Each structure stands twice: as structure tokens, then as C-alpha cells.
Structure 1
Amino acid sequence: MNILATDYLCAFDNIDESQKLIQQTVRKFVTEKFKPNIMENYERAVFPQEVIKEMGALGLLGCNLAGYGCAGLDEVSYGLIMKELERGDSGLRSVASVQSSLAMYAIHTFGSEEQKKYFLPKMAAGDFVGCFGLTEPDFGSNPAGMKTFAKKEGKNWVLNGSKTWITNAPIADVAVVWAQTNEGIRGFLVEKETPGFTAPKIHYKLSLRASITGSLFFDNCKIPAENLLEKSEGIKSPLMCLNQARFGIVFGVLGAAEDCLEEAISYSKERIMFDKPLASFQLIQRKLAIMATEIAKGGLIAMQLAKLKHEKKIHASQISMGKQNNVQIALDCARTTRDILGANGISGEYRCMRHMCNLESVYTYEGTNDIHLLIVGQQLTGIPAFS
């Protein structure tokens, strides 16, 4: 029996032929188009923007949405795509995830027919880049307290405020922005070069260096009334978007974890210490076995969540459990691999340190590790511990 180290319990054995083809296609794309330059791009803090259109050409953007140029794939296929992208780099998966599960999903779910027809085909093709403005300098885990405000003035809305840690912001053609109004929190579409709107890049990141992160500033930014996401209503609307993205992360981080385990096994079998392979030592085998076990459990969680999501039986707290658990697994695997590689583990010639630094951000964004535990805790007890 052939047991894969990265799928020890065969969680992905039953994917169908079309899903296998999708996974193979994305892995080939990442291997040939992205990986050859990833370390140079990471070191230089550069994201190769051309891959956005290449992902669009492959149908990867907004792939689990239906119509408007989107592929309409199933949840497992979407998850496998995220896993293969993050096997390359968390920054690559983040760009695709923000485009698909946050910006495009928001327009698809809350937008008017005119907005969907105009924006979604362009975004699916990678011709338009989107970003998602929710987090503010003082409001991350408590987004409902946001200060960005939109005031209705005649046929326009006027936005004032700021957002930060926004993936894709400096290159985005359209920003999905959440703001307080006199009627509660609503979503707005702010197009680039709108007067009063700027999106500067955030520099000196030590994580997710091969992706583009920025801030959004609104200074009496006037947008037309038709740029309101008319079906958006309250904080539940952006949280619905976050649940879509968090689901992708559950799968995505397994790609980084698998890549680390493969590197740890390969290195430990080739590295000779005391006249025998490092892999022959009990301590090393114990570490590898724990990594394989945790990745296997993460795969089972991911596939079960995909099943629940497909059947429309999924609860937000279940996605939180998966996101918290699998990000922790991936981060632990990256750290363990770096440990096994010793001094070589910090070198850019290897992958584990880059994965480890990236996963420190994934551990925090779209709900911190602790917040997701509290979401599960609230569901278990019926008592919210947030306030």
C-alpha cells in the first residue's frame, strides 16, 4: 500500500477526475510560473503582477462563483486550488483569495445586476484587481467599531476614514469598502483614481513579502450613489465574505504544511550526521510522524467542511475551528522543518523559513487564532466572551 506522507489518512483519495485535473493544473502553473522566482521576489518584496492575469486565464479567480465569467466550481475544487497556490507561497494564495472570496464574492452577493455585469467578468479574467477594506488601524478584531463613515449627499456618498493591512490595495482597480452610515454598516465600491482616495503601499514587511499590502485613505471621497452595494446590511455582510475566505485558508495552509513536510523528509534522508542519515534518528522520525499526523487531521477537517459547505449545512464557528486548527498545524510544521534543517533552515535556498514567516500573518489575519477559539467557545457555551 502506497501511503502519501502528506495525505496519510487518504482524505483526498476520493476526489473525482475533474478535481484531480484542476489540482494538477494549478500545481503545474505554480511550479513553472511562480516558484522559479519566489525567493528573489520574496527578498525584494515584489509580487509578480502578471500571474493575476495568468490565474484569470486558468479560471482560478472567483472560481466557486456562478455566472458573470466565473467558473462555478464546487467547494472541494476551490479548496484544492487554494492549497496548491499556498504550496507555492501564502502571498500568492492571499492575492487570489482576496480577489475571489472577498472582493468578487461581495459584489456577487450584495451588488446590483449592473455592478455584477461590469466588474465580475473583468475580475474573473484578471483584468481588474479588487481589494477588501474592512480592517482599520484601531479596529481589527472588532470591525463593528469601525470609524470610516459614509454620508449621503444628494446623488453621491462621501467617505472619510482609513483602512489598513489591505492585500492588493496599491494595485486594485476597485476597493470593496465597508463604512458606517446613518443606517448602519454598508458596503461601497470605490474605483481607483477617485478624487480623495489613495492606496499607498505598506513597506518593511517581514511576512508575506511576495504580495502587495497597503492602506486605504478616504478624504471627502465622493462616489456615485450607484456604487453602494445595495444588498449589504450591517456587520453580517462583511463577515459573510470573511467566512468564504476563511474556508479557503483551511485548505490553503495545508499546502504550505505539506511543502514543509516534503522538505523535511527529503533533507533528513540526504543529510548525513555521525555517518548515517539524519532521518535514521529517533528524534527526527518522531518529529516527522507528528507533522504527518497533524496534516492528515487537517485534511480530514478541510474535506468535511467542504462537504458541509456544499450541503449548505455549515456554521461559521465550524469554519473558525478549521481555520484556527489548520493554521496552527501549518505554522508548527514550518517551525519543526526549520528546526530539522538546523542552520540551513534560515536560508532562502530552502522553503520552510519563508513559509514560517508567511504563516505568522495567516495566523493573525481574517480572525486571529484567539478570536477563532472564542467563536467556537461562544458556540459551545452560548456565552460571548468578546465583551
Structure 2
Amino acid sequence: MAHPFYTAEHEAFREQIRRFVAREIEPYATEWDEAEEFPRELYRKAAAIGLIGLGFPEEYGGIPGDRFMWIIATQELARHGAGGINASLKSHAIGAPPIVAAGSDELKARVLPGILAGEKISALAITEPGGGSDVASLRTTARRDGDHYVVKGEKTFITSGMRADYYTVAVRTGGEGAGGVSLLLIEREREGFARTPLKKMGWWASDTATLHFDNVRVPVANLIGPEGHGFRIIMRNFNHERLTMAAGCIAAARVCLDEATAYAKERVTFGKPLTQHQVIRHKLVDMAQKVAVSQAWLEMLAWRLEQGENPVAEICMLKNQSTQTLAFCASEGVQIFGGAGFMRGAKVERIYREVKVNAIGGGTEEIMKDLASRQLGF
């Protein structure tokens, strides 16, 4: 029976991405995660099969694709079980859309082709050491000085923070609150711009840093959108980011299910495979149930977005549903593996360490509930 959301074109794309992951990432995922980096060449290879340009304008090297193409790309990439690789490989998906949406024609022509070809790396820099999810209260300032802005402040927890070439940075150009926030493109080589690498619980292969701006001079031509419109541009990005995170969490949960199932069929205890113990079969069923429910909700919301709807509350709830599904499946996966699940190298162990970053990044569970409650009129 035909799937209501995926066409033959979608499935051909899925097979292409699946082969790419099996050939270019899966054999090296553990090695790269342990090394806390992966080859820059991977960006070019991903761009060559359409992964980097997916959903971006064709005039700058992008390729057309609906949200279901994006779900496929996100979920197939999760198969190797090292979320940090994906986080940095796809940091352009949060760094470049504001440029597409609000950048000048000159700025787009200058930076987008290199990003979409995998030659340049794009990052988004919003979070500050004292700010977290409170974007409207950011303190990094950009003071106008002739045909430049002078930027002073810090950003932290920035994905691709060390290796990015272009940073889409939220700055304060005006007064307090959301209305004083603007966006600037800042190139890595600007004088006064420094970066400090960060060590993390999980996502080791993801390059994460604190950024330091010490009176960095940035041309006014690098302003993304009008002054004071930065907060609005940032908010436009969140639906897509949260849907993407949900897709990735569901796929990682499925990896835990698949790995635990395969292990339980082979591991023999008390004279029989783990799958012949009712308690283990029930764990696997609970995992499968949560994955199926989350995936169905994801696809329905993607369809509604394709129809022009804007179900903000449900996207927030889906993000929480997906991170909670991941937490459950990662925990149960490690439990089924037993001692082997506590050893480095097992996908379930690595994914278990990556649970919390998903429940925090892109809007914490608490922020998601608060936003959903307001949208629902509670």
C-alpha cells in the first residue's frame, strides 16, 4: 500500500542517504566521536549528494525538497548513532536560514554558495553565558561606528563554534527587550574574535565553543535584515529547528530499539535468548510503541505545515514527546544490554549520553511546556 506522505522520489532519496551513511560515516562514527572531531571533507561529500543544500534556494546551489525530504535526511543520518557528527554537519541548517530569509542580495550571493557547496561552515550564535533560552535579554552589543558595527560580548554552547567560517550572531543594537535585537554575519577571521573549545557529556564529535567578541569591527553590509528585527527572524527559525530535533530524537530512539532487539536475540541467559524472557519482550514493545506514536505525530505535523498551518503548540509538545521517547528508549536499551551497554562503543551507550542535550537545546522541556500552554490558552 502506498504511504500517504512518502512518494517514490522520497524513497529514492532515502536510499541515497542510507548508502551515504553506511559508506561515509558508519564505519568511522566511533573513531570520530572519540577523537572529538570529524574530517572537514565530510561537508563536501554531504553537499555532493544534496544533504547540505536540501531546502535552500537553487540559485545559490540548494536543491528543492519538502519537509518529508528533510525528515528522511535527518532520520537516515541518525542511523550511525553519533549525534555530534550530525549536529556540526548540519549547523548550517540553523545558521544559514536567517541569511536566506532576511539577508541582502549581496550578502546571500557572497556567503550562501560556499556554505551549500560544503566549502564553508555556518553556525548560529545566540545563547550567552548568563542568558540561555531568554533571547530577548541578550547582552552582546553592536555599536554603530560609521560603516561598521563594533561588537562586544560573549556567546556560548555554539555548535561548530571552533571551525565555522560564518557566524550568524544575535546582538543588541538598540534598547532593552526583543525590539533591540539584531542579527549580524561575523566572519571567523575578524580581529578581536576568539573562540574557546568546550568539553561535553555527549555529542563529542560536535565542535562546540564559547565565542569572545572584543570590539570586533563588522561591516554594516553584514547586517541580516533591518536593525531591531533580529528577534523576529530568530523566532521564524524555531518551528523548523524543533521539528528537525524531534525527527532526530525519534530516529535515535529507533536505533536504540533496533540495537537492543538484535542484542536480545543473540544474548543467551538462563539457557535461552533474552527475547524469550517476557520482561525483555515487554521492554521492546514499550520502546516500539513510543517510537511509532512519536513518528506518526511528527509526520502529521509535517503534513500540516506543508498545508500552510502553524501548529506551534503541537510542535512544542512533539519536541518534548520525542526527547522523552529518546530518554526512555536509550535507558531501556542500555538496560537490555546490561554490562555491555555501559561500555564505550555500543550505540546505546553513546546515545544515552546524548539524551539531555536534546531535552535542553532548541528550547528546554520547560520552555516548550510554557509556550504550548500559552498557545493553548491555559
- TM score, norm. by length of structure 2: 0.94
Q: 2:4, 2:343 → 1: CA distance?
A: 34
Q: 1:370, 1:11 → 2: CA distance?
A: 38
User: Is the 1:167–1:213 Cα contact (8 Å) retained in structure 2?
Assistant: yes
Q: 1:96, 1:275 → 2: CA distance?
A: 45
Return closer, same or farther for 1:22/1:368 CA change in 2, 3 Å cut-off. Answer: same
Correspondence list, 1:1-387, <5 A: 14-67=5-58, 68-88=60-80, 89-100=82-93, 102-182=94-174, 184-202=180-198, 204-231=199-226, 233-382=229-378
Q: 2:169, 2:13 → 1: CA distance?
A: 32
Q: 2:173, 2:136 → 1: CA distance?
A: 12
Q: 2:56, 2:35 → 1: CA distance?
A: 34
Q: Kindly state the Cα deviation for residue 32 of structure 1 after the two structures are TM-superposed.
A: 1.3
Q: Which amino acid aligns with 1:170?
A: M
Other-structure match for 1:5: none
Q: 1:94, 1:348 → 2: CA distance?
A: 20
User: Is the 2:85–2:205 Cα contact (8 Å) retained in structure 1?
Assistant: yes
User: Is the 1:161–1:217 Cα contact (8 Å) retained in structure 2?
Assistant: yes
Q: Considering only aligned residues, what root-mean-square deviation do their CA atoms show, in Å?
A: 1.7
Return closer, same or farther for 1:243/1:231 CA change in 2, 3 Å cut-off. Answer: farther
Q: Kindly state the Cα deviation for residue 216 of structure 1 after the two structures are TM-superposed.
A: 1.2
Q: Kindly state the Cα deviation for residue 322 of structure 1 after the two structures are TM-superposed.
A: 1.5
Q: Which amino acid aligns with 2:20?
A: F
1:130-155 C-alpha deviation (Å, 9 max, x unpaired)? 11000000111211111001111111
Q: Kindly state the Cα deviation for residue 198 of structure 1 after the two structures are TM-superposed.
A: 1.4
1:239-297 C-alpha deviation (Å, 9 max, x unpaired)? 22232211111211122111110111111111111111110111111110010000001
User: Is the 2:33–2:84 Cα contact (8 Å) retained in structure 1?
Assistant: no
Q: Kindly state the Cα deviation for residue 13 of structure 1 after the two structures are TM-superposed.
A: 6.8
Q: Which amino acid aligns with 1:50?
A: E
Q: 2:4, 2:252 → 1: CA distance?
A: 19
Q: 2:319, 2:76 → 1: CA distance?
A: 17
The unaligned stretches of length 5 or more in structure 2 are none
The unaligned stretches of length 5 or more in structure 1 are 1-9, 383-387
User: Is the 1:86–1:256 Cα contact (8 Å) retained in structure 2?
Assistant: yes
Return closer, same or farther for 1:317/1:11 CA change in 2, 3 Å cut-off. Answer: farther
Return closer, same or farther for 1:110/1:231 CA change in 2, 3 Å cut-off. Answer: farther
How many residue pairs were aligned?
Answer: 371
Q: Kindly state the Cα deviation for residue 120 of structure 1 after the two structures are TM-superposed.
A: 1.1
- TM score, norm. by length of structure 1: 0.92
Q: Kindly state the Cα deviation for residue 230 of structure 1 after the two structures are TM-superposed.
A: 2.3
Query: Which is further off, 131-140 or 367-376?
Result: 367-376
1:325-349 C-alpha deviation (Å, 9 max, x unpaired)? 1111012111110000000002234
SS of 2:124's partner is strand
Q: Kindly state the Cα deviation for residue 30 of structure 1 after the two structures are TM-superposed.
A: 1.2
Q: 1:250, 1:342 → 2: CA distance?
A: 27
Q: Kindly state the Cα deviation for residue 86 of structure 1 after the two structures are TM-superposed.
A: 2.0
> Greater relative contact order (Cα 8 A, min sep 6): structure 1 or 2?
1
SS of 1:80's partner is helix
Return closer, same or farther for 1:159/1:22 CA change in 2, 3 Å cut-off. Answer: same
Q: Which amino acid aligns with 1:178?
A: A
User: Is the 1:93–1:252 Cα contact (8 Å) retained in structure 2?
Assistant: no
Q: 1:12, 1:28 → 2: CA distance?
A: 22
Return closer, same or farther for 1:315/1:11 CA change in 2, 3 Å cut-off. Answer: farther
1:92-133 C-alpha deviation (Å, 9 max, x unpaired)? 321243212x11111100101111112111111111101100
User: Is the 2:55–2:63 Cα contact (8 Å) retained in structure 1?
Assistant: yes
SS of 1:236's partner is helix
Q: Kindly state the Cα deviation for residue 360 of structure 1 after the two structures are TM-superposed.
A: 1.7
User: Is the 2:312–2:372 Cα contact (8 Å) retained in structure 1?
Assistant: no
SS of 2:361's partner is coil
User: Is the 1:11–1:296 Cα contact (8 Å) retained in structure 2?
Assistant: no
Q: 2:164, 2:219 → 1: CA distance?
A: 19
